[in-house]
Structures are given as structure tokens and as C-alpha cells.
Structure 1
Amino acid sequence: MVFIGLQSLATLVLLGVRSVAAAANGSVPMQVRLAYAGSHGMTVSWNTYEHVQHPTVHYGSEVHNLCETAKSDVSVTYQTSTTYNNHVELSNLRPNTLYYYNIPGSNATTPYNFTTARKAGDHTPYVAAVVVDLGTMGRDGLTTFVGKGAASPLAPGEINTIQSLQQFQPTYDFLMHAGDIAYADYWLKEEIQGFLPNTTLGDGAKVYERILNDFYDEMAPITSNKPYMVGPGNHEANCDNGGTKDKAHNISYTVSICMPGQTNFTGYRNHFRMPSRQSGGLENFWYSYDHGMVHYVQIDTETDLGHGIIAPDEPGGSENEDSGPFATLKDQQTNWLAADLASVDRAKTPWVIVAGHRPWYISLSGSDQCLDCQDAFEPILLKYGVDLVLSGHVHAYQRNAPIYNGTVDPNELNNPTFPWYITNGAAGHYDGLDTLDRPFAYYSRYAQDEAYGWSRLTFHNATHLTQDFVASKNGSVLDSATLFKKHEVGHHGKPGKGGAQS
């Protein structure tokens, strides 16, 4: 197997050594990850090979004095999982403060650290990083070669997206990942294409879990230091890549091949703890949080669209994944979204950013354009003055004009009324990049399908936001645009009527 240059090889070798050590001592923490937990908290999560009786985190504001302790009873696993997921919430933390922490049994030589969220109303400039559609970079994922039928391998020695994010880690406050995490469900497709050796369907569960663990190991140097805010994508639904065809043998595989524990977003639901409890949302599917001058909202484009609309991964949906719904009330997600946006204090958090996996404005026809998502969400986003909508799913980059119901805002980025839409699913995974339809859609302002990369959001102040598309291979900026919003506050939760930029 060809790895991605010496840096990646060394990283993966170290991870392999750590995994062997962890297997020998089943309580050694691995895959450490953080998530904001409301305005004054942080959730610390990690995996172990054995159940932990009382997951514990020691922490403090001084590196040599971890005088505070938090515990929980949450050490959970599921059928076919090879590990336990441990979650501990740290509460009553000071805003925008550096904390150090450690987990008993860790083989880390120094404590981990994180910085808490900025207080809502703090208009100090900062940067957030965004990826969508990011898979493993190494043994079972994207490398310098691919199987028959895949595309866009990395160039020899090329820096990949995980390495790029690690390289830029000191420059951003946290990382958003709006769906399609790890691509463990590509295991069968990779075998059919000759990238992985063939296994039996029964043993496919082991390959699936190995790919998941590889990805979380690779991400740990970032996620143990920066909050990792995730959302659901279609590749979290189950184990079979939404249906895989073996054309050579005329076999069509479906969700029926998945082993217990590998359907219905099970791994995703166990592995993460997003701030849904603090924001009135639902599990890791929809939630919100504040960070400085921005209110962030994660929505679920895969299930629970509401208004009588069947989401793509629900029974009867376009991908027939038989996943969800998860809500117990009618229109629960859309009602929550409207109430959440209505409650935003735009004087404190003038910017409102919404992330969801599937786009509805994209230069690619067919099911990749989620018109059902548009019907469910777009009127709400307009009503409450959402500034930017982020998505992926299509493995390319496209920055659009602000738009509503197919009409481009005449102000473009100069104080528009309509939300600004950006799709960036070009982070990288085994199957490569998609080819956008040409000519690009009339609302597209920049699009590319040839380079891997991620988005950098720079919040300069209450009126100016810059989005850069950063090429992973060399850190260059391939596209940059700045949105101006006047953000005059009218009624609570709704922006007032804006004027032209002076």
C-alpha cells in the first residue's frame, strides 16, 4: 500500500504503535475529541477498548495544576463496535480561556489543552475552519493511487486535507464537519474496485470498524485540541455506501448486508456528543451554539425534514437507507429551527451561520440537488435573516451568489437580503472529486472540481465576513470573497432593513 509521503507515513506508524499499545491495555484513551457544550462548557470524548466504569477528566487553567475533576457514567458501545465511547462534560468554564486537561491512563507526555468559546457579544475577530466529505488519508482511504473506477488520487508527497488542517491549526478556533465522516461505508466499493483485498460480507464489519478507527486516530491531533463540531451526512447512515453495485458479477448490494450496529447512524450517534441538550436540539442531528459574534446552527438534511417530506435516508427516501426518523413530534426539526433562529439576539451575535450536509443550489443535476431540503428549510432561513449556508455532499467547491427561490439577490455580497450559499465537499476521500456540470449554474460565482481543500471563515467584525477556499496541497487560497451585512437590528431575532454599503 502506498502512503502519502514521509510525514503521513510517520504519523500512521505512530498511530499504529499507539493502537497496539492501547489494545494491550484496554483502558488507554485514544481518538480524543472535543465539542462545545453550551456557553460555558466543553465535552471531552475518547475511545477505549474496554468499558470505563466512571470516565474521568482532570483539568485546570495551569498546566501543572489540574485541580478540577469531572466524571460521568457514559461509556457506551454497540454491536460490531471494537471500542467504547466515553463522554465527560466540563461545566462552568470561563469564556475564551485556555484550559489544560488529562484523562487517566493516557500515554500523553504532557496534558492536552483547549480554549473555550468566546462569550456571545464578544466581537473580537476570529477564524473557524470548515470541512465536509472528509475520509481517511492512508491505509484504507485516499492515497497516491486508487482502485479501478475511482478518481483523483493524491500526487506523490502531496499534503492532504487532514495534514493541512493540522498545519493551520494555530490559526482557527474550531473545526466544523457537516457530514460524511470517515467513509467507512466505502469498504465494499473499495474491495470491488481492487483497492482493498476481498473479505466475506460477514467480515466486512471488521473492515468498516477499522476504517472508522483509522480516521478518528488520524484526526486526534486536531480534535484533542480544537472543538470538532459535526453534523450527519449520508455516509453515516449505514455500511454499504447507499447501495453498491458489482458490475463484473452483476450484483447489487443493499443495506441488507449491514451487520447489527452499522445501520441507522449508530456509530455516529455513539461516537459524538454535540450540544443539543443545551440548545433544545436532538442528539447529534440538529443543535446550535454561540461563539463570539456568531450563532451557529447545524441542521439534518438526512432525516426529519418535516412538513410531510420524506428525507433521503428515511424509509421511502431517495437512497432507501431505512434510517430515522428520530423525532417524536411532527415537524420537530423545522419547528425547532424556526424557534432557535427567532431567539437569536442579533445585537450579541449579528452573524448567523447554518450548516447542513446536502445543497440545493449546485451545478449538478439529479438527486445531489436536494430540492426537498430546499422546501423544508429555505423559507425559514430567509425569514430569520440567515447570512451564510454551508453544505457539501457534492465533492467539489462552488461559491454562489446570495439567492432565494432561484432568484439572485441584486445586491450580491453588498448587504444582500438573501442568504449566501457555499458548497465545499472537496475535502477528500477515497473516491475522489466529482465533476460539476458545465456551464456552471447562473447563480455560481466561482466553482472548481480539480483540487482538494477546506473553507476558512474569517469574522472581521459585525459587518464583514470572508470565506476562503484553501487548497490542501500547498495552503494557497484558490477563491476568496467577503460578505458585507449592515446588520441593523430590528425585532428580536430578525435583522432590520439594511442599506447599501457606505
Structure 2
Amino acid sequence: MDTFATLLVLCGVMSLALGVPPIWTQPEQIHISYPGSPGSMLITWITLNKTDSVVEYGVWGGKLFELTAKGQAALFEDGGSEKRTMFIHRVLLRELKPGVPYVYHCGSDLGWSDIFYFTALRERVDWSPRFALYGDMGNENPQSLARLQKDTQVRMYDAILHIGDFAYDMDEDNARIGDQFMRQVESIAAYVPYMTCPGNHENTYNFSNYRNRFSMPGNTESMWYSWNIGPVHIISFSTEVYFYTNYGLDLLFKQYQWLQKDLEEANRPENRAQRPWIITMGHRPMYCSNADKDDCTEFNSHVRTGLNDTTPPAPGLEDLFYRYGVDLEVWAHEHSYERLWPVYNYTVFNGSLNEPYVNPKAPVHIITGSAGCRERTDPFVPEHRPWSAFRSSDYGYARMQVFNSSHLYLEQVSDDQYGKAIDSMWLVKDKHGPEAWL
């Protein structure tokens, strides 16, 4: 080996020994979200070194990348021992044509992503949006991911609702597990708005990985927000304010006040006429019949009835959601699927004996938290609770379509049974709002 080659080898060995990090300007972990304003979409991605934040895009079938939008990059430092840093880029696309597909890539002159596409959300209220719903999907054992990837590739969904618990956990290995998980879900989240809420597995460092990595509407760092799609008003909130009060009990009261104000606005006659369906998404359920000691197994669960050991006592959410006529409440946390009869205060209010979900007199609850993670699935208590209609410990996820102002369809897909729909329901309502309970 000549002297020059020997020096090159020695330099390489020294770099490895010193742990010199690579220069990383290539975009990764691309995902999109709906920022709440008609005709818009928000593109988010990560680089490990600082670069410009640029999205080049155009209408599908038109001139490629004829439009350009620029944004900003924020430095994020993980709370782990290495204090790893990354740059989180956000670029807002405006004046998109409703229902039109767009092609885009993101990055800078230091590196561009692959080419992705999305369809701008329709602005009308008279269309039928389609959703995938699930929680509790990890980097290890993401059982449902391949099927969700295929669903997304055939354009089955207009939006995806991930109801808490990501990666298991995003902060682990100095946030490298979070990086890997976001790379995994790029195959769906770069094509369809990926709408989220926080779960208990995001709590480390005051939910910092969740708050920084996702870009939801509003100005609450994705902890709670609402948005409109078709005939639906969707409210995402944090159940974790009831359990991690060390991060500030005031957050519980701030969220409750925000929820009340948002529900009041959504129930103004002109707004409820436009978007009659109100659907909430939060991680920990009010009810469940699992064989563990989670909050939902307690009669006076914190999420349902609040906290009595605070000053003042902290209100729960069941009365609030009932008072404002919430139609459907979707949850996760339990690694299983459970469909409840229409229920309020542990009392079943079916529409009728033969058609329980036709004009029910209470909200309907769905738990779908078995997308797949390292903690596997959760068992149930042997006996059915009187308010529990159907339950399964299969891995899987839910699909939902809101057809119009009166008909909503939901089904649970079993990945264990090769994509079979193991449960389904039609929720039919001639009236929405608190008057529907009368």
C-alpha cells in the first residue's frame, strides 16, 4: 500500500474513532397534513443538517414542478443523553384546486426527495370523505402497515387518523426509533394527510418528539385542534392532560375550555347544518372491557368523569361531549377493537332493538388500537359488558366513510384474517346535535 492510500485509511479510522457524524442534507420522513385552511396542504420533513426548505410541485399531468413554495426549518434537539439535533422543515402550499391531484418533491439544492403525490381536499360539504383510523402502531411489529400501504397506493383514503402512540417510542435510542418510524410511515403519510393526536407513549420530555415532528392545525403544537372535511367536524384532543399533570395542570383546564368553545361554535345552527357530524379522536377511552387496569376499566375513569383530587376539581369529558351532541368518539390505547352500543353514563341508549345505530340517543364509541406494536394485543375480560356490542383482539385497523349528512359507515379490518372486515356498522341519524338525544 502506498503512502497516500495509507493516509486515507488512517483518516477513515480516525473519523470512525472520533465519531464524526455524516453530512446529511437529504430530505427524509416526509409527511403531509391538512392545516385547516381550504385549498392548502402542509409538507413536513427532516434533514440532519441545515438546508433550505423548498417544495416544487404541479398539477398531475401538467408541467412537472412548475410551482414553488418556500418555508422554514426549525432546529429540534432531542432530550436524550446525546442531545441529537435535526432540522424539521415545514412548507405550506396554498391556492390548491379542490379535488385535484398534485405531484411534488421537497428539499433544496443540497438534495431532493423522491416524487410523491396527493389530492387537494375538496371544499364542498356534499362529498363523502374516506378515512383509515388506528392507534398504537410501532416501529417493531407494525402488523397493519403493509396493508395500509397497499390501501393508500390504490387511493382508498382521503385522510388517515392516527389516534396516539407512535413508534414505541419516538424518543428511544436518542430519537432514532422515532426517525425510523417516520421513515416507515412515509409510504402512506407522504400521500395522504396524516392527522394525529398524542398518546401516553409520547410523554417523554413533555411530548417533545410528538410536538415537534407533527404539524397539525391551530397553535397548540398538535396537542388539540379541530378541522373540517366534507360534512364532518373532527376534534382531536389529548387525554394525557389527565395523567401527566406534572407538565402543568393548567393544560387540562385550557384544553377543556378550548373544547367547550370549539363545540359551541360547531353547534351554531348554520355550522351544524353545514357539517352535521361531529367526531372526536382521543387516545385513552372512557369505556373498555379489557383485562387490564387501564383507566377505561375503572367505573369513574379520569377521561370520563375527571379528577377529584385537584383544586378546583378537573371536569371529565363525557358530559361535555353528550351536552354538545357529539356523534362518534374514536379511541385507541387498548390493543384491540371494541364497538360499543350507544352509551351515556354506563346506560345503553340504542335507537331501537332491531336498529341500535339508527337515531341512537347517545354517542357511539369505537376503540381501534391494534395496528401493531411490540406490546402485542390485549385480552378481554371473559364476560361481555352490557354496553359492549363487539370486540376482537385481532391485529387491524378501521375504515370509515361519511356518505352524507345522515349516513356513516365504519368497519374493522383484521390483518390476522388477511384483510377481512370482521365487524361493520351503519350509523344513521336524521338529527344531529343535543336535540338528537330527545
Shorter-normalised TM range: 0.7 to 0.9
Query: In structure 2, what residue type is equivalent to 1:380?
Result: L
5 Å-filtered alignment, 1:122-137, equals 123-136=126-139
| Per-residue Cα deviation, 1:67-116 (whole angstroms, up to 9, x for no partner) | 3322222332113335321111222323222222221345545x321112
Structure having the higher helix fraction is 2
Alignment correspondent of 2:272: 346
Q: CA deviation at 1:462?
A: 1.4
Q: Distance in 2 between matches of 1:113 and 1:435?
A: 39
Alignment correspondent of 1:3: none
Whether the 8 Å CA contact 2:43–2:92 is kept in 1: the answer is: yes
Task: Indicate which of 405, 413, 423 corresponds to 1:462.
Answer: 405
**Residues 33 and 439 of structure 1, relative CA distance in 2, 3 Å threshold:** same
**Residues 214 and 37 of structure 1, relative CA distance in 2, 3 Å threshold:** same
**TM-score, length-scaled by structure 1:** 0.73
The answer on 1:265 being equivalent to 2:207 is yes
Larger radius of gyration: 2
**Residues 208 and 454 of structure 1, relative CA distance in 2, 3 Å threshold:** farther
Whether the 8 Å CA contact 1:346–1:495 is kept in 2: the answer is: no
Alignment correspondent of 1:331: 253
Q: CA deviation at 1:217?
A: 0.8
Alignment correspondent of 2:194: 228
Alignment correspondent of 1:421: 365
Query: In structure 1, what residue type is equivalent to 2:229?
Result: H
Query: In structure 1, what residue type is equivalent to 2:214?
Result: F
**Residues 497 and 176 of structure 1, relative CA distance in 2, 3 Å threshold:** closer
Q: Distance in 2 between matches of 1:117 and 1:417?
A: 32
| Per-residue Cα deviation, 1:467-498 (whole angstroms, up to 9, x for no partner) | 1111124111011111111136xxxxx45447
**Residues 289 and 439 of structure 1, relative CA distance in 2, 3 Å threshold:** same
Whether the 8 Å CA contact 2:411–2:422 is kept in 1: the answer is: yes
Q: Distance in 2 between matches of 1:431 and 1:82?
A: 28
Alignment correspondent of 2:146: 163
Alignment correspondent of 1:20: none
Query: In structure 1, what residue type is equivalent to 2:28?
Result: M
Q: Distance in 2 between matches of 1:416 and 1:270?
A: 39
**Residues 284 and 94 of structure 1, relative CA distance in 2, 3 Å threshold:** same
**Residues 217 and 326 of structure 1, relative CA distance in 2, 3 Å threshold:** farther
Structure having the higher strand fraction is 2
The answer on 1:360 being equivalent to 2:286 is yes
Q: Distance in 2 between matches of 1:24 and 1:224?
A: 25
The answer on 1:291 being equivalent to 2:229 is yes
| Per-residue Cα deviation, 1:129-179 (whole angstroms, up to 9, x for no partner) | 01100101xxxx128xxxxxxxxxxxxxxxx31101011111111111011
**Residues 326 and 228 of structure 1, relative CA distance in 2, 3 Å threshold:** farther
| Per-residue Cα deviation, 1:50-78 (whole angstroms, up to 9, x for no partner) | 122x4121222245342332222233211
Task: Indicate which of 110, 113, 116 corresponds to 2:117.
Answer: 113
Point out where structure 2 has 5 or more consecutive residues left out of the alignment. Answer: 1-20, 306-315
Q: Distance in 1 between matches of 2:228 and 2:68?
A: 25
Query: In structure 2, what residue type is equivalent to 1:165?
Result: L
Q: Distance in 2 between matches of 1:181 and 1:301?
A: 15
Alignment correspondent of 1:58: 56
**Residues 107 and 93 of structure 1, relative CA distance in 2, 3 Å threshold:** closer
CA RMSD of aligned residues (A): 2.1
Q: Distance in 1 between matches of 2:437 and 2:203?
A: 41
Alignment correspondent of 1:478: 422
**Residues 206 and 354 of structure 1, relative CA distance in 2, 3 Å threshold:** closer
Q: Distance in 1 between matches of 2:248 and 2:283?
A: 16
Query: In structure 2, what residue type is equivalent to 1:478?
Result: I
Query: In structure 2, what residue type is equivalent to 1:346?
Result: R
Task: Indicate which of 178, 199, 203 corresponds to 2:163.
Answer: 178
Give the SS at the match of 1:27: coil
Alignment correspondent of 1:404: 344
Q: Distance in 1 between matches of 2:22 and 2:59?
A: 32
Q: Distance in 2 between matches of 1:487 and 1:61?
A: 39
Percent identity among equivalent residues?
31
Give the SS at the match of 1:220: helix
Q: CA deviation at 1:446?
A: 0.3
**TM-score, length-scaled by structure 2:** 0.83
Alignment correspondent of 2:25: 27
Give the SS at the match of 2:145: helix
**Residues 296 and 167 of structure 1, relative CA distance in 2, 3 Å threshold:** same
Alignment correspondent of 1:372: 302
**Residues 481 and 347 of structure 1, relative CA distance in 2, 3 Å threshold:** same
Q: Which sits farther off after the overlay, 168-177 or 98-107?
A: 98-107
Q: CA deviation at 1:401?
A: 0.6
Q: How many residues align?
A: 385
Query: In structure 1, what residue type is equivalent to 2:121?
Result: A
**Residues 24 and 81 of structure 1, relative CA distance in 2, 3 Å threshold:** closer
Q: Distance in 2 between matches of 1:483 and 1:231?
A: 24
Q: Distance in 2 between matches of 1:81 and 1:175?
A: 29
Q: Distance in 1 between matches of 2:256 and 2:437?
A: 26
Q: Distance in 2 between matches of 1:55 and 1:235?
A: 30
